[in-house]
Amino acid sequence: MKESASQLREMVRKKYAEVAQKPQSGCCTPCCESDAQPEDGFSMIGDAYDGASGYLADADLGLGCGVPVEHAGLQPGQTVLDLGSGAGLDAFIARQEVGDSGHVIGVDMTAEMVAKARDNAVKSHLDNVEFRLGEIEFLPILSDSIDVVISNCVLNLVPDKQRAFAEIFRVLKPGGRFCISDVVSSRELPDWVKGIAEAYAGCVSGTIPKGDYLKLIEDAGFGSVEVASERRIDIPAELIGKSLTRQQREEARDSDLHVVSITVTATKEPRHN
């Protein structure tokens, strides 16, 4: 049985609230079930943040699938929006790039994550980084006010992706751009994957095929759409859902069902009079 969009949002919100409140351990993604042991942990990001300027260990919950700032082309003085900012990791790295004259806004729909990010900002004495509570489909951001939007492994969790990209387009200044790291699927996912709530919260069943994902971006009005990086991620079947039948596991294996981490850039073309 498929959940409604509101049910999916609440399920994801609850799962990430639990992640925000847990002490950090080897179980570093919501792919882990609540009763998982540390050795069952699975991370899609690995050591990609090693050596990153602005890195803050307290903000690293192991939830990403890429490092969007690497391809965002950030410049001093820019205003940056981080969607699904979590504990603030990518926002703090972005702040290092835009400097004291820039401004970084993080938006997350989980109050516990926003509180954690704000605490991290205070501890780091960063007064030009702020975090707001809100949903990506209904951003608490003024239109035409953002130079660059970044996001890390979050858009796949949004039920209405078309609305999400429309909102990104709305808040960007003409000539602004986004750089999003996300996961897409190798093909249209079977219904039995889409119906597993645990898989959805773990960034699996919310994915759509790469071609469909890129088309949503183009349909939202963006130009210069490019895939800056791409890599296959093999997620252990037991982390997709303990309830899979043997037949379902075999189907996933025989059809090479997998997800791919991609980092996509695109531009809101300037208006011409």
- 117/122 Cα distance (integer angstroms): 9
- 221/265 Cα distance (integer angstroms): 13
Q: Which domain holds residue 166?
A: 5-267
Report which residue type is found at 44.
M
182 located within any domain: yes
Q: What is the CATH number of the domain that holds 215?
A: 3.40.50.150
215 located within any domain: yes
Burial zone of 124 (CB within 10 Å; 0-12 exposed, 13-18 middle, 19+ buried):
middle
pLDDT digits (tens, 9 = 90+) for 195-244: 554 554 455 557 788 999 999 999 999 999 999 999 887 655 555 545 56
User: Does 116 score more than 80 pLDDT?
Assistant: yes
- 96/203 Cα distance (integer angstroms): 28
164 located within any domain: yes
CB 87 within 8 A of CB 60: yes
- 205/239 Cα distance (integer angstroms): 12
Neighbours of 243 (CB within 10 A): 11
273 located within any domain: no
- 1/49 Cα distance (integer angstroms): 38
Report which residue type is found at 67.
V
Task: Report the share of the chain in percent with pLDDT over 90.
Answer: 51
193 located within any domain: yes
Average pLDDT over residues 247-260: 70
pLDDT digits (tens, 9 = 90+) for 117-130: 999 999 999 999 99
CB 268 within 8 A of CB 177: yes
Average pLDDT over residues 94-101: 96
- Identify the pLDDT of residue 263: 96
272 located within any domain: no
Average pLDDT over residues 82-93: 96
- Identify the pLDDT of residue 217: 98
Name the helix (H) or strand (E) containing 176: strand 172-185
Q: Which residues pair with 108 in a beta bridge?
A: 133
Specify the pTM: 0.83
pLDDT band at 29 (very low <50, low <70, confident <90, very high): very low
- Identify the pLDDT of residue 187: 67
Report which residue type is found at 220.
A
Tell which wins on pLDDT, 269 or 10: 269
User: Does 136 score more than 70 pLDDT?
Assistant: yes
* Structural domain count, the chain: 1
- Identify the pLDDT of residue 235: 58
Q: From the centroid of its chain, how far is CA 58? A: 18
Name the helix (H) or strand (E) containing 229: strand 223-233
**Helix pair angle (210-219, 161-171), 10° resolution:** 40
